């Protein structure tokens, strides 16, 4: 694999994509450039330039390469406060409730798997509603904190985990844009889910007018977001989910971040 040329004192941070990570086309070209040096998770041994790429075939926008394990370790050696289990547990419960209410019309019971559970609020609240909560996260501290309060939690890539039960609901709140090859993960999740299982996914929407206005004013923070690999449009997200066996049931706006979208999908 090709590794980016790096300046002095910088580590080899990214493994370049030779093809579009969604459709595998090699018809890709350089797009906008961001700068992650002001980000909380930034470490000066990581190059600050973020080169975005456009796929001319499926119109997806992605970063030129995903991080090496070494770079990931550096970046995730810090934890943002809102990722700590129990952070703002009261306020977050209201936010989580509104997410759960979106799922209930389609799937009102079963196991609820939250991938990248962060502060755990969605799982705590899902349990109140009668769902059986299961958490997956790559932060070891978070996983052991969740386990210590008696909630099933795994510290691994979700595609590597064999769950004892079929999964009824999978939530990925602001997670898919951090995954090097999202299609692989969605396909794997599909195989672990109930036949009428539901997906709840949120991320910024590059087709929103806010995104376009901020880009025009050179103030789009998502071009500088250190841990993002993808800038999804609603159109591309919906078509990707379709390719992986899911149908969109409901579109909405996510309250979690600026420009956020939140979609409910159900297995075919």
- Residue 55 or residue 75: which is nearer to Zn ion going by CB? 55
236 lies in the binding site for Zn ion (CB under 5 A): no
**Considering only residues 2, 25, 91, 166, which one is a binding residue for Zn ion as defined by CB under 5 A?**
25
23 lies in the binding site for Zn ion (CB under 5 A): yes
Q: What is the CA radius of gyration of the chain?
A: 18
| Strand ranges in the chain using DSSP code E only, listed in sequence order | 14-16, 28-35, 49-55, 61-63, 65-67, 111-115, 132-136, 152-154, 167-173, 193-204, 230-231, 246-253, 260-267
User: Which of the ranges 58-66, 112-120, 229-237, 240-248 carries the binding residues for Zn ion, by CB under 5 A?
Assistant: 58-66
User: Which of the ranges 38-46, 53-61, 137-145, 215-223 carries the binding residues for Zn ion, by CB under 5 A?
Assistant: 53-61
* 3 state SS of 251: strand
Is 90 exposed, middle or buried (CB count within 10 Å of its CB: 0-12, 13-18, 19+)? exposed
x/- mask, Zn ion, residues 80-99, rule CB under 5 A, reads --------------------
CB of 187 to Zn ion, least distance (A): 16
Contact between 50 and 4 (Cβ < 8 Å): no
CB of 64 to Zn ion, least distance (A): 14
235 lies in the binding site for Zn ion (CB under 5 A): no
**Considering only residues 16, 58, 89, 157, which one is a binding residue for Zn ion as defined by CB under 5 A?**
58
- Residue 183 or residue 256: which is nearer to Zn ion going by CB? 183
Is 37 exposed, middle or buried (CB count within 10 Å of its CB: 0-12, 13-18, 19+)? middle
60 lies in the binding site for Zn ion (CB under 5 A): yes
170 lies in the binding site for Zn ion (CB under 5 A): no
63 lies in the binding site for Zn ion (CB under 5 A): no
CA distances (Å), origin 249, targets 132, 229, 241, 257, 266: 23, 26, 11, 22, 7
20 lies in the binding site for Zn ion (CB under 5 A): yes
- Residue 22 or residue 63: which is nearer to Zn ion going by CB? 22
- Residue 65 or residue 135: which is nearer to Zn ion going by CB? 65
Which tokens in the block code for residue 104?
A: 């209930």
Which tokens in the block code for residue 257?
A: 């971040």
List residues near Zn ion by CB under 5 A: 20, 22-23, 25, 55, 57-58, 60
């Amino acid at each position: 694999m090709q590794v980016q040329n790096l300046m002095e004192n910088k580590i080899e941070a990214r493994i370049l994509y030779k093809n579009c990570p969604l459709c595998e086309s090699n018809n890709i070209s350089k797009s906008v450039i961001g700068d992650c040096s002001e980000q909380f998770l930034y470490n000066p041994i990581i190059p600050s330039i973020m080169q975005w790429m456009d796929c001319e075939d499926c119109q997806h926008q992605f970063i030129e390469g995903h991080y090496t394990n070494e770079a990931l370790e550096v970046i995730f050696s810090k934890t943002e406060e809102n990722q700590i289990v129990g952070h703002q547990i009261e306020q977050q419960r209201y936010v989580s409730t509104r997410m759960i209410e979106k799922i209930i019309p389609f799937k009102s019971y079963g196991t609820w798997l939250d991938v990248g559970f962060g502060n755990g609020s969605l799982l705590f609240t899902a349990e109140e509603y009668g769902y059986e909560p299961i958490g997956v996260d790559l932060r070891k501290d978070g996983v052991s904190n969740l386990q210590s309060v008696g909630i099933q939690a795994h510290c691994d890539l979700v595609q590597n985990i064999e769950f004892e039960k079929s999964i009824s609901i999978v939530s990925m709140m602001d997670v898919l844009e951090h995954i090097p090859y999202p299609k692989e993960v969605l396909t794997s999740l599909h195989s672990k889910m109930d036949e009428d299982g539901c997906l709840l996914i949120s991320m910024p929407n590059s087709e929103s007018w806010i995104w376009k206005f901020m880009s025009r004013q050179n103030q789009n923070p998502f071009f500088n977001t250190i841990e993002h690999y993808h800038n999804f449009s609603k159109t591309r997200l919906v078509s990707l989910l379709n390719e992986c066996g899911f149908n969109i049931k409901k579109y909405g706006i996510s309250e979690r971040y600026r420009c956020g979208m939140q979609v409910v999908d159900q297995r075919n």
